[in-house]
Chains A and B, each alone.
Chain A
Amino acid sequence: MSVPTLRFNEVSKAFPGVKALSNVSFDVCSGEALALIGANGAGKSTLMNILGGNIQPDSGGVLIEGRNVAISSPQDSINNGIGFVHQEIALMLTMTIAENLFINSYQTTSIGLLARNLMEEQCKTVLESLNCHLSPRTQVKHLGSGDQQMVEIARALLMNPRILILDEPTSSLTGKEKSRLFDAVAVLKSKGVAIIYITHFLDEVFPVCDRAVVLRNGEYVGGDTIENLTYTDIVTLMIGESDTDVYYSRDQHSVSESLNLRVKNLSRSGVLKEIQMDLHKGEILGLWGLLGSGRTEFIRSLVGLDPNDTYDVEIREEKRMVPLYKRKASKYFGYITENRREDGMLLPSSILDNMSLANLRSYLSAGPFMNDEKIKVESKKYIKKLDIKISNVDQPAGTLSGGNQQKVIVGKWLQRAPMILLMDEPTRGLDVGAKRDMHQIINDFVQSGSSVLLVTSDIDELMNMSDRIAVIDRGSITGMYPQGVSKEDLMAAASGFAKGDKE
Chain B
Amino acid sequence: MDRIVFRRVSKSVNWKKLLITNSSVIALAIIFCWIALVTPGFFTTRNIINVLNQSAALGFMVIGITAVFITGGIDLSIPSVMALSGILAAMAMQNGAGIMMAVLISILVGLFLGLINGYAIGFLRMIPFVVTLSIQIIGMGICVWLTSKVSIPISNGTYLNAFSGKIGIIPVSVIYLAFMTFVATVLAKKSIWGRWLYATGININTATVSGIPTRKVLLGAYAWSGLFAGMASLLITSRLASASSTMGQEGVVLNIVSSAVVGGVSFQGGFGTPMGAVLGTLIITLISNSMNMMQISYYMTLIVKGIVIITFVCLDSIRHRN
Chain A residues engaging chain B, CB cutoff 8 angstroms: 16-17, 303, 305, 330-331, 335, 337, 342-349, 353, 356-358, 360-361, 364, 367-370, 372, 412
Contact = CB atoms under 8 A, between A and B. Distances in A.
B191 A358 contact: no
Contacts of A356: 195
Contacts of A369: 190-192
Contact of B195 (A17, A345, A360, A412): A360
A345 B209 contact: no
B208 interface: yes
Q: Which 8 A-B pairs have the closest CB atoms?
A: A343-B205, A368-B191, A330-B211, A358-B210, A357-B210, A346-B202, A369-B190, A368-B192
B42 interface: no
A342 B205 CA distance: 8
Contacts of B309: none
B193 A368 contact: yes
Given A357-B210, A412-B210, A343 B203 contact: yes
16 contacts: A16-B6, A16-B9, A16-B10, A305-B209, A345-B206, A346-B199, A346-B206, A347-B202, A347-B203, A349-B198, A349-B199, A356-B195, A357-B212, A360-B196, A364-B192, A368-B191
| SS class, residues of chain B in contact with chain A | helix
A349 B202 contact: yes
Nearest to A336: B209
A345 B191 contact: no
Given A368-B193, A369-B191, A370-B191, A337 B198 contact: no
Interface in B173-219: 187, 190-193, 195-196, 198-199, 202-203, 205-212
Interface residues of B, number: 25
A362 to B, nearest CB: 10
Contacts of A343: 203, 205-206, 208-209
B195 A353 contact: yes
Contacts of B211: 330-331, 358
Contacts of B208: 305, 343
B280 interface: no
A303 B202 CA distance: 22
Interface of B: 6, 9-10, 13, 187, 190-193, 195-196, 198-199, 202-203, 205-212, 270-271
A379 to B, nearest CB: 14
A348 B196 contact: no
Contacts of B202: 346-349
A370 B195 CA distance: 9
A357 B193 contact: no
Nearest to B2: A14
A313 to B, nearest CB: 17
A344 B209 contact: yes
A357 to B, nearest CB: 5
Contacts of A303: 209
Contacts of B212: 357, 360
Contacts of A367: 191
A357 B6 contact: no
B192 A345 contact: no
B4 to A, nearest CB: 13
B203 A345 contact: yes
Given A346-B202, A357-B199, A335 B209 contact: yes
A204 to B, nearest CB: 30
Contacts of B193: 368
A343 B203 CA distance: 7
Contacts of B190: 369-370, 372
A343 B199 CA distance: 11
Contacts of A344: 206, 209
A412 B205 CA distance: 15
A369 B188 CA distance: 10
Nearest to B208: A305
B84 to A, nearest CB: 29
Contacts of A337: 209
Contacts of B203: 342-343, 345-347
Contact of A357 (B9, B10, B206): B206
A170 B184 CA distance: 49
A337 B207 CA distance: 12
Contacts of A348: 202, 270-271
B101 to A, nearest CB: 29
Nearest to A369: B190
B14 to A, nearest CB: 11
A357 B199 CA distance: 8
Nearest to A346: B202
A23 to B, nearest CB: 16
A368 B193 CA distance: 7
Contacts of A330: 211
A312 to B, nearest CB: 22
A201 to B, nearest CB: 27
A331 B213 CA distance: 12
A330 B203 CA distance: 18
Nearest to A339: B205
Contacts of B187: 368
B204 to A, nearest CB: 9
B285 to A, nearest CB: 31
Contacts of A349: 198-199, 202
A483 to B, nearest CB: 30
B32 to A, nearest CB: 30
Given A345-B206, A353-B198, A370-B190, 17 more contacts: A17-B6, A330-B211, A335-B209, A337-B209, A342-B203, A343-B205, A346-B203, A347-B202, A349-B202, A357-B199, A357-B207, A357-B210, A357-B212, A364-B192, A368-B191, A368-B193, A369-B190
